[in-house]
Amino acid sequence: MTMKQAFLVAALVLAMAALSPAQAQDVSREAGYVDLSSIERSFASPPKVEVNVRGSLLRLVVEASRREDPGLADVLSRLKAVQVRSWDVEMSQRADIERHAETFTQRLSRGGWETVVRVREVGQNVGVFLRESGDLISGLTIVVVEDGEATFVNIVGDIDPSEVGMIGQRFNIDGLTGVPDGGRRR
Amino acid sequence: MTFDMKPDPKMESRIDAYLDGELSAAEREAFLAEARADAALGGELELARRLQATFRALPRPEAPPDLAPSVLDRARRASDRENRRPLARSRYLVSGLSAAAMIVIAILLVVPGRPPGIDATMYSDEDVAQALEDVQWALAFVSHMGERTGRIVRDEALVGRTIEPVRSALDGARPSTSDE
């Protein structure tokens, strides 16, 4: 074995170690993942709120929350991604946005997502969808179009909706309506 | 780039001796002069230098105390096996692979405060704090919508369309209590 082969073998070992975490972060291949870029194209402006927490950042969040909130850390440790997009919607845009949202939800249904709740009434259009893989829930998607706002949420991972809801109750939902200009961007 | 599939043990041992500092000053000068004149020797020497520099430049995080003895033991046993095989004649290959294995294992272990596989340098503490807030917000939204849709289902579907009609029907069926 020559020096060249020794160097290549050692480089291969290190490259495999480096590649493995990167491959594990390809959350777009998960069954519960939804590509929200398709709905982004329906809006003329960037979202006021954009959240993309996945991979290494999500694992850091898990560790950061572990001491203060072990229950939250436990829920988050089983997630693979959290995505949010939210836009302000003018009354004049409402009908168009609802059509795009309807197309989006129809695509979810064709893609194997199960409709859990669908509410269509004056002033609000809400859809809650779950994706199952075997006996486990691998994704949760919520679509809300209502007066003044359109929001899309996709959570990927091993989800227990009741657990997520229980944990979520502890946080201040007022932050939803009080998002500052520019929102949270990633 | 071509690969020399037949190892030259004499060349490799001379390169090893040079890199390990086993040559005298005069021997080093002679060896380097020969490497400059001989393209094959010069190429092998350059590769060996780069390999050595690569391993030396890798970070060396602290490993738990019980890790090193077991890894070194495995490396020695692997080295013994390699030395018995006719192809693995190079001490440099064995030490290089052993060093690579130890470094990879050490890197993959938990650096204090960080789980394996996380590149902690990618995100600042502010990034993580913001991401935590964002995730809490997202979960709060999910919970909020769950409550809202639950109320809608209760008020519209259950109370409005099921409970009230049943109540009305029961009220209508109740026998009259007035005296005739």
Per-residue pLDDT of A149-177, as tens digits, reads 999 999 999 988 778 878 888 886 664 43
* Chain A interface, best mutation among B114, B130, B136, by max A CB count within 10 A: B136
Are B144 and A176 in contact, with CB atoms under 8 Å apart?
yes
User: What would the two tokens of residue A56 be?
Assistant: 């290494």
pLDDT digits (tens, 9 = 90+) for B130-172: 999 999 989 999 888 888 888 777 776 667 677 777 888 888 8
Q: Residue count of chain A, please give it.
A: 186
Using pLDDT thresholds of 50, 70 and 90, give the confidence band for residue B180.
very low
ipTM: 0.80
- CA torsion, points B7, B12, B14, B18, in degrees to nearest 10? 160
Q: Using a pLDDT cut of 70, give the percent of chain B over it.
A: 54
* Chain A interface, best mutation among B8, B41, B46, B142, by max A CB count within 10 A: B142
CB–CB contact B133 A173 (8 Å)? no
What Å distances lie between residue A92 and A43, A97, A98, CA to CA?
Answer: 13, 10, 11
DSSP character at residue A93? G
Q: Is the dihedral of CA B65, B66, B70, B71 positive or negative?
A: negative
What span, in angstroms and rounded, lies between the C-alpha atoms of A18 and B117? 8
Residues 93-122 of B with CB under 8 A from A: 93, 96-97, 99-101, 103-104, 107-108, 113-115, 117-120, 122
Are B97 and B83 in contact, with CB atoms under 8 Å apart?
no
CB–CB contact A6 B96 (8 Å)? yes
- Overall average pLDDT of the A48-73 stretch: 92
Whether the CB of B161 is below 8 Å from some CB of chain A: the reply is no
